[in-house]
Amino acid sequence: MRRSKLLSMMILVLFVAAIFAGCGGGNQTPAPADETVKIGFLGAKTGGHASYGIETLKGMKMAADDVNAAGGILGGKKLVIVEEDHGSKDDQAASVTQKMITQGTVAIVGDPTTGFTKIAGPIAQGAGVVLMSAGAVGEGVVEIGDFIYRDTLLDKVGAPLVAKYLASELGWKKVVLVTSTNNDYSVGLSKLFRDGLAANNIEIIAEQTIQDSDQNFSAQVTSFSNKDFDGIVFTGYYTEGGLLMKEVRKQGLDHVMVGGDGLLAPVLWELGEDAVEGSMVYTGFAADPANASPKTLAFIDAYKAKNGGTLPDMFSAQGYDAVMLLVDAIEAAGSAAPAEFKETLKVTSNWEGVTGTISFGPDREPIKSPVYLLEVKDSEFSVKATIDL
């Protein structure tokens, strides 16, 4: 009897301790609510998506530093980034979102992935807090509600621009389109390329299908090996992209491949070796100091100074822009109430950020310019062209 009483006491103590431990998470000194504006960071600092989250947060902090150094927001209030870590776990994403909302954030930046944004979206929408995803590209994100935004390059903007570039700058007239049929991203991107290529008078002379995790592409490549065409559009991921190009070279063809950021990983040339040299990939941002605008160059230099000379990636740049977009919308509305500044955010047009120009269309989807077209050169991505809208 005594024993069990002791046990239940101990459990009670543990519970209380756990509750207090949970409260210690937000690690900034509390300031009176009216002197700060809080923007939350939703993302992973640990786990499988940590590399996206950490970079997004770096960009956000740089933006907050810049805003505060220039005198703060709404006439002198301090901009505070409330950071949390959902550890790449989707059950954590929901509770972290909830927690940031109760801490009084007016907007949340994140998550860089579509899946987690879709978990956090309905919570933010329900609470009337603006959520700006700095990375989600999938379907059904802004459809969650009028508080939900994103500042990423969408394939429906990118693919037609790349098609235009292929036709006007490279003079392509005929292509082969290869789709990975068990990959939603690839099927969707192929659809966009079909329209984009047709609009630019590029004929698809052959379509082939593969599947993710396929190893053997000999039959597909042989099917178009005796045809006359200018290049291969492949909409899948880097693994299959590298192996596909190996097979293309093995059959004596010297064409190059074009694809979306599904190809954007070193695995492309680790598997593809020489065969992917000259292949092209488009993306929303790439650090290109030689051709950057003054604003972008300032960001690249500041990032390099803070990170031992490494160049910023797409996620840090989009994190920076997400905070700046929100700050400008808050300033324009003259209020940090989400219901008010979401209206000024909605009419953002030709806004200059470090990743380029952003406008929100009537469907609140971002329209970004330029698109960065990268080329594999000596087993590295280098910027081949920036394509303006």
Partner 1 sequence: MTTDIVLQQLLNGLTLGSTYALIALGYTMVYGIIQLINFAHGDVYMIGAFVGLTMVVVFGINIWAALFVAMIACVLVAMTIERVAYRPLRRSTRLAPLISSIGVSIFLQTLMTSMKGPQPVGFPQVVSNTIYTIGPVKIALVQIIILLVAAALMIALQLIVKRSKIGKAMRATSEDYDTASLMGVNVNRVISFTFAIGAALAAAGGVLIGMYFNSVFPLMGVMAGLKAFCAAVVGGIGSIPGAVIGGLFIGVAEVFGVAMGLGSYKDAIAFALLILVLLIKPTGILGQPIQRKV
Looking at the Cβ atoms of 225 and 369, the one nearer to partner 1 is 225
- The residue ranges that bind partner 1 (CB under 8 A) are 181-182, 208-211, 214-216, 218-220, 222-223, 225-226, 239, 242-243, 246, 249-252, 267, 270-271, 273-274
Looking at the Cβ atoms of 252 and 362, the one nearer to partner 1 is 252
Looking at the Cβ atoms of 160 and 241, the one nearer to partner 1 is 241
Rounded least distance, CB 6 to partner 1, Å: 43
87 vs 359: CA distance, rounded Å = 32
Both tokens of 39, joined, read 């923007």
CA quadruple 196, 359, 150, 290: dihedral sign: positive
Looking at the Cβ atoms of 204 and 332, the one nearer to partner 1 is 204
Q: 223 with 208: CB under 8 angstroms?
A: yes
Rounded least distance, CB 223 to partner 1, Å: 5
Residue type, 235: T
341 vs 39: CA distance, rounded Å = 13
Looking at the Cβ atoms of 249 and 377, the one nearer to partner 1 is 249
Rounded least distance, CB 218 to partner 1, Å: 4
Number of Cβ within 10 Å of residue 297's Cβ equals 16
Q: 107 with 338: CB under 8 angstroms?
A: yes
Looking at the Cβ atoms of 170 and 187, the one nearer to partner 1 is 187
Rounded least distance, CB 234 to partner 1, Å: 14
Rounded least distance, CB 76 to partner 1, Å: 51
Phi first, then psi, for residue 376 (nearest 5°) are -80, 120
Looking at the Cβ atoms of 169 and 274, the one nearer to partner 1 is 274
Rounded least distance, CB 222 to partner 1, Å: 5
Q: 269 with 214: CB under 8 angstroms?
A: no
Q: 41 with 81: CB under 8 angstroms?
A: yes
301 vs 340: CA distance, rounded Å = 34
**H helical segments located in the chain:** 2-23, 50-69, 90-102, 114-127, 155-168, 184-199, 218-225, 238-250, 267-272, 294-306, 314-333, 338-346
DSSP 252-278: T----EEE-GGG-STHHHHHHGGGGTT
Rounded least distance, CB 377 to partner 1, Å: 19
